[in-house]
Each structure stands twice: as structure tokens, then as C-alpha cells.
Chains A and B, each alone.
Chain A
């Protein structure tokens, strides 16, 4: 890891043209607080803007439409493709069905998500923040809506300064009502993940849905409106911990959005026909600043507020093309390469390095474990817990009896009947609550049945067994003959 703090100071002071916010030395004590400065991001066109539009459409499409997707699981189970069924403690994801006791799959998914986040950050910086984070996607959507109602940057700035009028009122009202409707749709879509979407929708519109549904829709409407519509970049700058963590995730080989100071400086206005000799390529047109949804100047180098959304790249590339200079004055690049290029060399991108190998390896490991677990998923499971108190009981005829708590899990859609057997042929099996020796045990469809089983070994056989004998208890499906076996122990007084 090279020290990157000293590598590049792009804007060599003093700079011609515009500087960062001029601060005159304060005469009285400066305020401890300041109001949010409203930001009016300008619409840009270009490669990354297009990627972001596509990403927004796909992710929002998935979010809003997924609950409506059907997936046939037979008559007894819900036919919703993705459903978090709290009442029955199940999670349905297409063909996958996760029971409450298999919740570690969800943990695995979360671990994989975190590792992928680390990997992507090590490779290309805050890609998650810039393209995929819900805060970014919804803020982007809210800004697009605002643009529809109020026009682009200049019009919005004018409107904000303008005195109240009928025109301003209906434009602002339209904006906020649209935001609230988006919030309502967002909260509404979320509750559909927890109940059958069409049913719940009908209940919601006829005001018969459970109160909890309305409460959650209300909460998420409010948060979407406040965070996406009103707070925007304030969430990333002041509320979110991720910007503070990102410093540990980058290194000199991560692709970050950077301004190439060595090429751009000294900056200054440029008239058509003037020479480009003896000056930088940056014409100080400020397009990168007005495009920025965080309201910062990328030319000041890496900043906490920058979510690396790449909109400044699009803005700058457009200008560079216009003035006939090469693009990529602002671009995804590594600090190592930037340093090299400043000295006229090149440093190739190294995607494979210890950090990325580690993250990718861990991701593969956890993913492999989960796939292995899923491949071992059975439609019938058994747990055997031997009684610990008393360990064994001697009966009047001298035989030795052990008790076991056996849980049979029938994941099939129909009632199944099971027979038990023990690896000691002389043993007798009795089930509490079911008469007869070794009776068939029926388990309801999609259900778990807990039974108490007594295994007795006659005196002569018990005399040959030690204090602890490993035995196997096998449950056999009486319909199709599939078997599940569990190792356990048989305790006795010893010889």
C-alpha cells in the first residue's frame, strides 16, 4: 500500500481563475452551524449517465415488480416468487424455500453481499454509492422528477430565488406531491414482500388491510420523501458511515474518479483559436461542478462527499470534445497511474492483487459453502436428541431402556408416514402417544413433528453392551423407501 496522501495535489496554488470557495478571514467568531446550501445538479449526457439510467430502471423495476411475480408451488403454499412469510417463518425465493432453522442461508447472503461490496470498492471505489445504493437511485429519481416540474439547473435556481407566485406554487406543489407518491409506491412495494401482493393490494385499497401494513407504508413513504427528496447528499455526507470506511478499502490501485491536474493545470478560460501551449486543458467552465449531485469540485482531489457517480466525467468529456482536446481529463484512474503519468510514464491497472484475491477468495468460499449446503437440502430431515436425565432406565424384566427426543421434518406437500429402526436388531421401539410396538409415525405436510421414542434392549443383549454404545436410528419413508439416519448413543450400566 503506497501512501497516497502526498501523491497528488491537483490544484496547485495559487491557481488562475476560480478557486475553491473564498473564505475571508473571519472578524467575529464564525458560526458553528450552517444551513444546507441547495444543490441544483445539471442534467448531463454521456456514457455514465446512460449506465446510471439503465441501472435505475432495472433496479427500480425489480424492486417494484418482483412481488407481483408468481411461482407455482402447488396448492398448499403461496405462489409468490419472493415472499417473506413471517406467520409461517418461511422465506420463499423462486425455487428456494428457506425455513426458520435454515436462516443461516440469509446470513450467508449478507456475508457475500458485504464481501462483494469490499471487492468492488477495492477494484473501482464507491461503485455501490455511485450507481447501486438505494439512496443514490431514489435521489436520482427525485431529481429527475424535480427537473420535469421545474426545469433544469438554471430554471430551478431562478425559481428558488423568485418570489411566491401561482406558477412557483403549482410547480413546487407538483414536485412534492410527486415525491410523496413515489414514497407511497416505495413503501407500498415493500409491504408486498411480506404478504400475498394481489390480496394485500385489494385489502389496502378497500382499507381492510392490517394496521401494521399501513403503518409501515407510512413510515417508508416518509423516509423515502425525506431522505430521497429533501436530504439527498446530506445522507451520504452526514448520516452514512460508508464514506468513513471507504478509506480502508481503497489503495493506490483502485480505480477512482480523479481529475488529472498535471494535464488540466494551469486552468483558465480559453477562446476559440487561442493556442493550448503553456496552459492546461481545463477551461474552467465549471460544468463538472454544476453536474455534481454532491455539490463539490472534483478538481480539489478526493473528498469525503464524492460518491463517485461519474457524472462529472460525462460533463467534462462533452466539453473536451467541443473544444477539441482529448477526453478523460476527469476519468476513472488509479493513483498509481496518475502519479506515473504526471512523470510521463504509465502504470498498468492491476486488478489482481492480494486485497482483491482475498475478497474474491472469501466470496467464492462462502458462496461454495452455501451451494454445498443447498445441494444437501433434503425434503425430509430428522434430529435425534438422547435423554440426559435419566441416561438409561432398567425395567422389571432386566432390559435397559433409553429415551430419545426425535424431530421429524416433512418438507413434502403431502402427509407422510415413517417407520423407525435401530441398528441393534434385538431392540424394541415404542413411541409415546402411539400404541403398539414400532408404530408408523405420520407427519403432516410441510410440518415438523416431535416425538418421544423409547428404545429397549433385552437383558441378555444389554449385558453384552458397554456403558456407551454407538447406534444408528433410521427413519424410513413407508411410501417411497427413502431413509434418513442419525448417529446417537445407547447408554447402559455397563458390563
Chain B
């Protein structure tokens, strides 16, 4: 208060004024309790103690560390390590135990399912979709229709080595490109496609399907892989043609294209990229999606 004002006493309350006045309204000087001032000083002193104890001041390329050595980054690292340590035993058990044992142990099964779900989202969802529902060219993992087999061991094998992945253990069988390589004439391929549609009870041209059946069993030798009844063979990754579940689509055009090009997809090998426990968790998770055999 640099300038002096006339300080008076407010007649209504008996409180002294500060002498400040605006449009006839006087400012009362109601003193603050002194202990509150001391509390404020104590807080200031407390902040100095904080500077000494905890990281406080940013420097050019560093910061003051404080004598307690507190660091949130270290805390997080330690907490994450603690989680990893606590999971280590479970992960060991996952690697060691058989699928049947894991299934019989609710704690282990829950752990495997939770881990598998996360790993699936991180590594598999890009192709197979977040709900493992697949897409054109990428198999749906929810159904009971498996290209390479749906037992736990077969799923595990597929995840470990991939399909046509270049891994020495990977399964690589390939459908011939009947059209591109001139193995069948376009009309034969057309007839075969009609026959394949008939296998799944889809609308088709009966006469053409009859002719296609002959190609399927004769010139095309499709039965070698897909079987006499067209039910496929997981040993060679031959799809079941009777289930009306299509990897590349069930329209006539899509089937013709497939017979013509013999296209086959690639799945990467995951052994070496993911640790054995994670791979096993993934296999358990995928097996649990409802199609496991």
C-alpha cells in the first residue's frame, strides 16, 4: 500500500477498513489468522525439502536427481519386471505342460487365454482380423473348417513354422495353376467350377457340373488332394469344398480364378520371433475360438 488512505472503522461491523474505497464501498480489513500465514511458510519450507529430496530442476541435458534417488521411470521398469517375474513360473509351466494339463488347470488356462488374446492382437490380427474372423485370402479361425488341421498340435505347428514361409519346417504344398500352366482348357475349368459349386449346394448348371465332375476325377486329378467327396485334406492344406466356406470367395468367377492361378497364401513362421510360451498361448487361444478339434 504505497499511497496512504484514511483508515476508518466500519460502523456496521466494527471492523477497521483498509482505507480503499470504490464508489462508496469500503474494503474491510479482516485479518487472516496468523497460523494460516505460518502454514504458508511451512509449505514453502516443505518445497525446499522437496527440492533436496526429489528430482526438481531441469538442466540443459539432465536434471537434479534429489537425494532419495526417486525416479518414476525406474518404478515403472521395476513394476514391469516384477510382473514378468511373477509370470515367469506360469510361462515355464505353459512351455512344460501338455495341452491337456493346461486345460485341466483353470489358473494356467486363464493365463494362457489372456496372454494369447493379447499376442493375437499384436501379431495376428493384422491378417486374421481382431476377432480372428479372417478376410478374403485369410482364413477365419473361429469356424471348424481348417486348411491345415484344427487339433492343438496342428495349430501349434502352423504358428511355429508358418505356411509357405520359407522356414525349412514350413508346409509348402501348392495347388497347380491349371489355367496359367495350360493343364486344363478354360471350358474344363468352367465346368469344374460349376461342379465345385454343386458340392456346396450352391446354384449351378447341372449339365456343366456333370462334365466338371469328370474333370475333377479325371484330367484335373483334383481328387488327389481334395478327396473323392471334395472334403479336402489337411495334410496338404486342401480346403473342404463342401462346406460353403471359401477362402477366396464362392462365386463362379472366384472359383474359376482360383483353379486358373492356383493361388496360395503365405503365413510367416513365428518361432524365433515369439518365445515358445507365447506361441503355445496363441495356439491355446486359437484352439479355444470354437473350431478346435
Residues of A within 8 A of B (CB): 13, 19-26, 29-36, 234, 238, 387-390, 393-398, 401, 403, 430, 432-433, 452, 454
Contacts and interface: CB of A to CB of B under 8 A. Distances in A.
Contacts of A394: 143, 244-245
Interface of B: 1, 7-9, 11, 14-16, 18, 29, 31-37, 103, 106, 109, 129-133, 140, 142-145, 240, 242-245, 288, 290-291
Contacts of A401: 142-143, 290
Contact of B290 (A21, A389, A396, A403): A403
Given A395-B144, A401-B290, A32 B14 contact: no
A419 B8 CA distance: 86
Nearest to B104: A433
A395 B143 contact: yes
A452 B288 contact: yes
A401 B130 CA distance: 18
Contacts of A430: 290
A213 to B, nearest CB: 24
A21 B14 contact: yes
Nearest to B146: A396
B37 A33 contact: yes
Contact of B130 (A234, A389, A398): A389
Contacts of A31: 31
- Where chain B touches its partner, the secondary structure class is loop
B283 to A, nearest CB: 14
A56 B4 CA distance: 52
A255 B74 CA distance: 60
B27 to A, nearest CB: 12
B16 A26 contact: yes
Given A20-B14, A25-B9, A389-B129, A36 B33 contact: yes
B34 A13 contact: no
A238 B36 contact: yes
Contacts of B145: 395-396
Secondary structure at the A interface, as helix, strand, loop or mixed, is: loop
Contact of A33 (B15, B31, B103, B106): B31
A393 B35 contact: no
A433 B103 contact: yes
Contacts of B36: 33, 238
30 contacts: A24-B9, A26-B7, A26-B16, A30-B31, A32-B29, A32-B31, A33-B31, A34-B32, A34-B34, A234-B35, A238-B33, A389-B130, A390-B133, A390-B140, A390-B142, A393-B133, A393-B143, A394-B143, A394-B244, A395-B243, A396-B144, A396-B145, A398-B244, A401-B142, A401-B290, A433-B103, A433-B106, A433-B288, A452-B288, A454-B290
Contacts of A25: 7-9, 16
Question: Chain B CB within 10 Å — which of A393, A403, A432 has the most?
Answer: A393
A394 B16 CA distance: 86
A141 B244 CA distance: 83
Q: Which 5 A-B pairs have the closest CB atoms?
A: A389-B131, A390-B133, A396-B243, A34-B31, A393-B142
Contacts of B1: 29
A396 B140 contact: no
A23 B245 CA distance: 96
A10 B219 CA distance: 116
